[in-house]
Amino acid sequence: MDDSPDTLHILLQGIMAGQEASMSQLYDATVRRVYGLAVKIVHRPELAEEIVGDVYLQVWQQADKYNPQRASPIAWILMICRSRALDKLRREKSATMNQYQEDPQQDTLDETTPTALDSMMQNELSTRITNALRLLSKSQRQTIALAFYRGMSHQQIAHYTGEPLGTVKSNIRRAQAVLRNALDSDDINVGGLYG
């Protein structure tokens, strides 16, 4: 199936008109790339399959929101995929954290469980990162939070905040430099205490 931008754009117009055949053709032309990205992000085929379903449902429901001046059709679809995959990871992590599992057979020490020293060092790192974040302007903090905690692209941040793309990129670069300098001055490897 042809996945050229022109063909995908025509198919999206058909989807906007409610043509199921256009949806089927768009799916056939793009599913391999969408599934590949989903697996790359979540590392679990069964989750990736759920994400693919969510992506194409959103494409069907929101095709009228596609703007060809902002992105090619495949870039728009992959951006939806990335967003759905990150949402799925957050929900999975939250659900896992809220479950308590006890194994009465397990009497051996689990070496992956953090020790008191690990916890203390992680708390110290969190405190230093929090202090470093206070050095940033409000705009820089927001940009960093959107990029690293919500997983937004520069373009998504610009759209979300209403700031020009260049300003968003500059804010991220400046904020990273400030954070790097602050953490380096505390003798902390930015990659983590053990990195």
Question: How does DSSP classify residue 64?
Answer: G
Q: How far apart are CA 105 and CA 126, in angstroms?
A: 34
**CATH number belonging to the domain at 116-185, selected among 1.25.40.10, 3.40.140.10, 1.20.1560.10, 1.10.10.10:** 1.10.10.10
Q: Token pair 């989903």 is at which residue?
A: 38
**pLDDT tens digits, one per residue of 103-135:** 545 444 445 555 555 555 566 666 777 777 788
**pLDDT tens digits, one per residue of 148-177:** 777 888 899 888 888 899 888 888 888 888
Greatest CA span in the chain, whole angstroms? 62
Determine the angle formed by the axes of helices 45-62 and 73-97, rounding to 10 degrees: 130
Read off the tokens for 161. 């905040």
**CATH number belonging to the domain at 5-96, selected among 3.40.50.620, 2.60.40.420, 1.10.1740.10, 3.60.20.10:** 1.10.1740.10
Read off the tokens for 127. 């405190």
**Average pLDDT over all residues of the chain:** 80
Q: Give percent of the chain with pLDDT exceeding 90.
A: 37
Find the distance separating the first CA and the last CA of the chain, reported in whole Å: 45
What is the reported pLDDT for 90?
A: 87
pTM here? 0.49
| Domain definitions of the chain by residue range | 5-96, 116-185
What is the reported pLDDT for 109?
A: 46
Rounded to whole angstroms, what are the CA distances from 92 to 87, 96, 140? Answer: 9, 6, 29
